[in-house]
Structure 1
């Protein structure tokens, strides 16, 4: 299946059938998310993978009791770093130097560029919002990877982040939830959206050639 075929196949699933997504396929989706691009390569977010049905049932009220939370088999919580700190930048520089066989001082300019960008954002909240945008890059890659694996994926912003964060004790991990993605398999008999045509603006309205 080509990527375009896969993206035409996928849609935002509203009901799932409870069948578990293939673990090898899920692992490849997670690998794709791990390889997603991010600004400066900082990857300022984590993805919590929740398989346990009892825990997902506890989280469901914070996600407006959307049925996919418990009808799917894997709940992915994209959570941005809060706060984003200079020390994390130093960790990235040290890791980059080690992986590439370079002395750290060769990367001092890169280090200062990242730190300057973060400083100019002006506040921890602004830095969190910046990190959240990076998490969305991972979400997009994850959706495309899921389609290629023929695993259904439902992205969600309809949830109470503060309530979800409390239930998952994310503040202790210095994380704040950004978006959710449920993996599983569609229930075409009970999903009102399943038979609907995919609707997009005309390509020329979205893609503007200059």
Structure 2
């Protein structure tokens, strides 16, 4: 597969084919890709909520400024951050390292203490922003995987997170929604599917030293 050809193929899909849905293997690929996304320190302060239920998605449309992709896509992916990062999150992460890699405590202890200290000096808002920056990495990763797999997607920042959090009961899970990614398959009549991609010449965006 030519990855550049697939990236040329992808676009922010405006109209989805409502009769086509992702297969279980395709959905599992997106789940695995999200879980394998690089995060700072590997701490993974992100979660992915996958909404397939049409009734729930219909109720979310007004909170996404009536963007129909939310309900017309096969699935709606909601990228979320933890509303806070506790010392226990760091401890759990390093316990996981110890279990999986059998790394001695003497090696892990200074790194764990350093990360706990780093989080301790941040405000909750700063911790959330730190996580949100990584949510964009996850979004980009998912979009690239979608392109490779021939899955259409439409990244969205335009929605009311508080209303999504309320509808999806995310607060009870200690989460906040930050980004949306409806995924599925483009409709045959999506005008944007046939438009040429508009980008600056590569020599204007790449600097080689």
**TM-score, length-scaled by structure 2:** 0.95
Instruction: Name 2:198's counterpart in structure 1.
Output: 199
Structure 1 gap ranges (5+) = none
Deviant stretches of 4+, over 6 Å: none
What are the ranges of 5 or more consecutive residues in structure 2 without an aligned counterpart? none
Paired with 1:183 and 1:163, the residues of 2 have a C-alpha distance of: 21
Cα distance between partner residues in 2 of 1:134 and 1:86 = 19
* CA RMSD, 1 decimal: 1.2
Q: Deviation at 1:114?
A: 1.7
Q: Which residue of 2 aligns with 1:151?
A: 151
Task: Measure the CA separation in 1 of the matches of 2:186 and 2:11.
Answer: 10
Superimposed CA distance per residue, residues 39-78 of structure 1 (whole angstroms, 9 cap, x where no aligned partner) = 0000111000111111111111111121111111110100
Residue 143 of structure 1 and its aligned partner are, at CA, apart by 0.6
Please say if 1:185 is aligned against 2:175. Answer: no
* Cα distance, 1:105 vs structure 2: 3.3
- Give the Cα separation in 2 of the matches to 1:105 and 1:63: 49
How much has 1:104 moved relative to structure 2? 2.6
1:97-147: per-residue Cα shift (whole Å, max 9, x none)?
A: 111112333201211232233234x21011001011112111111111111
Tell me which residue corresponds to 1:130.
130
